[in-house]
Amino acid sequence: MIERWWAMSAFVAVLIATGTLGGCATDKGPAQAAIAAAETAVNSALAEASKYLPDQARSLQAGLAAAKEKFDKGDYAAAISEAKAVADKAGQVASAASARKAELTKSWESLNAGMPRVVESIKSRVDILSQSKKLPANMTADKLAAAKSGL
């Protein structure tokens, strides 16, 4: 009776081990798919993120590398989890990079719109100084000539 119990226990243990190993092997395909999806998401976000959010772009690359490392070690469940997190983060980083680009573009347009007035003001002042018979104390003829050529 005890021998039968040991044999049955051993058989159950073998079945559990086989099922566990089989379960790990079945996670390999989904892990590969999750990593591929994360890689696509990271690559699409990387161009803009590298320009406008370089720290976050490096973080995406590090996360993708960590997912691949877990996959290579056979930890497919952790690789899937990491890959999904990286893909989600890539979407967030892409949105943040887009917002940052819009913000910088708006700032540039504002500066660009005001620049002609600044240049015109400087040109007017240089013209006044050029027509003046006597230059101010802190202005020399060389400085005035440099200002004219700089305009």
pLDDT at residue 5 greater than cutoff 70 = no
Establish if 47 belongs to a structural domain: yes
Establish if 100 belongs to a structural domain: yes
Establish if 60 belongs to a structural domain: yes
Write the secondary structure of 13-52 as one string of H (helix), E (strand) and C (coil).
HHHHHHHHHHHHHHHHHHHHHHHHHHHHHHHHHHHHHHHH
Buried b (16+ CB within 10 A) or exposed e, 96-105: bbeebeeeee
Looking at the whole model, is its pTM more than 0.85? no
Of the given ranges (11-15, 66-70, 100-104, 120-124), which has the lowest mean pLDDT? 11-15
Establish if 146 belongs to a structural domain: no
Establish if 125 belongs to a structural domain: no
Establish if 105 belongs to a structural domain: yes
Count of the separate structural domains present in the chain: 1
Establish if 56 belongs to a structural domain: yes
Closest C-alpha to 49, from 28, 64, 29, 34: 64
> What does the mean pLDDT of the chain come to?
79
Establish if 26 belongs to a structural domain: yes
Residues whose CB falls within 8 Å of the CB of residue 82, separated by 6 or more in sequence, listed in order: 63, 66, 67, 70
pLDDT confidence of residue 137: 77
- State the residue range of the domain holding 68: 2-113
Q: What is the pLDDT of residues 68-80, one digit of tens each?
A: 999 999 999 999 9
